[in-house]
Amino acid sequence: MANPWDLRPGDALNKPGSHVMLFLRFTPDRKAEVMESSTGGCNGRVCRNVYPLASLLARGYVPVRFRAFADDQTTVSAGAYQEQTEQPPAGRKTAGKRR
């Protein structure tokens, strides 16, 4: 990808041989919001983080286009990634719970 500011949801930021992050969106202040798994900031789990794009590029991350989305014009809203706090509908079973 020639211009890192052309990142779209589903693209990746790859640091070859080291780490990869899934790009979610640019925040209103133009930082990159990503999903990543990390032993440091995520305690070994997958979590959402926000970084200045320039700092990721300076650390060796390379933007990579996910080909299936190359021509997709879908826009993902910021609310699409918010954690679910609602209870599941009545009668719906959830993983790990028995009734």
95 within a domain of the structure (yes/no): no
Distance of CA 35 to CAs 10, 90, 92, 99, Å? 10, 31, 28, 33
pLDDT at 99 over 50: no
Residue 50 lies inside a defined structural domain of this protein = yes
Residue 38: per-residue pLDDT: 81
Q: Is residue 3 part of a domain?
A: no
Which structural domain, as residue segments, surrounds residue 19?
Answer: 9-66
Residue found under tokens 């992050």: 21
- Model's pTM, two decimal places? 0.66
Of all residues in the chain, what percent carry a pLDDT higher than 90?
A: 53
**Structure confidence by residue, pLDDT tens digits, 16-51:** 999 999 999 999 999 999 999 988 778 888 999 999
Q: Name the phi and psi angles at 35, rounded to 5.
A: -110, 135
Identify whether 18 is part of a domain. Answer: yes
